Amino acid sequence: MDIFDNQIAAQVAAKLLEIKAIRLQPEKPFTWASGWKSPIYCDNRLSLSYPEVRSFIKENLVKAIQTHFPEVEAIAGVATAGIPQGALIADSLNLPFLYVRSKPKGHGMENMIEGKVTVGQKVVVVEDLISTGGSSLKAVQDLKNAGFEVLGMVAIFTYGFDIANDNFSEANVKLICLSNYSSMLPPALANDYIDDHTLASLVEWRKAPNSWQGVEK
């Protein structure tokens, strides 16, 4: 799991914080579906409503693909949040676009993959957010099962969990992200989204998210 560019990572994080795509509530944690208590909630779909932020993200995802996967022949978005970002990127690169469902469509052709399936085509997968990587890697496997050659994946933001690193490494899938949790903390502190006390707690959450309970008063 690599960050495309450290300077861009800080800029992306700052923009996501500004538009509240990233929300920090260390004193009133969010509860994830896994049951984990979390000081952060990231909804990158909000960036689509802000043209300047949307374009900045799109342009840098395009650069990341051109740098790391220059032989790309098609773009695949992961449903649902990866679909609009993937379509924007495919349009910029003038490449075919398709997307991968989380489960087959319940009627009609019952497709798992929407778009033209071309066996052997070299595809890059687009995600908005990486947590453990489970659903993202399932999409990769679905594409491989359909006959695509998956070059790798790009994403806007990752929490940087060790389990995600291990999962992508085990699956032998190259992942390039624009920004991550560590890159988000300095602009969050500099712009007063958090203070020094909550910063320390946020660092602890990243080390052990399954046991973190919130900021001590």
Q: Which long-range contacts (CB under 8 A, 24 or more apart) does 167-175 make?
A: 167/132, 167/133, 167/134, 167/137, 168/1, 168/133, 168/137, 171/137, 171/140, 171/141, 173/137, 173/140, 174/2, 174/68, 175/1, 175/2, 175/130, 175/133
Q: Can you tell me whether residue 7 is helix, strand or coil?
A: helix
Could you list the residues known to form a binding site, using ranges.
101, 105, 107, 127-135
Cβ of 185: how many Cβ atoms within 10 Å? 19
CB 74 within 8 A of CB 118: yes
Could you list the residues known to form a binding site for orotate, using ranges.
131
Q: Can you tell me whether residue 123 is helix, strand or coil?
A: strand
Q: Can you tell me whether residue 81 is helix, strand or coil?
A: coil
Could you list the residues known to form a binding site for 5-phospho-alpha-D-ribose 1-diphosphate, using ranges.
101, 105, 107, 127-135
Q: How far is CA 198 from the centre of its chain?
A: 24
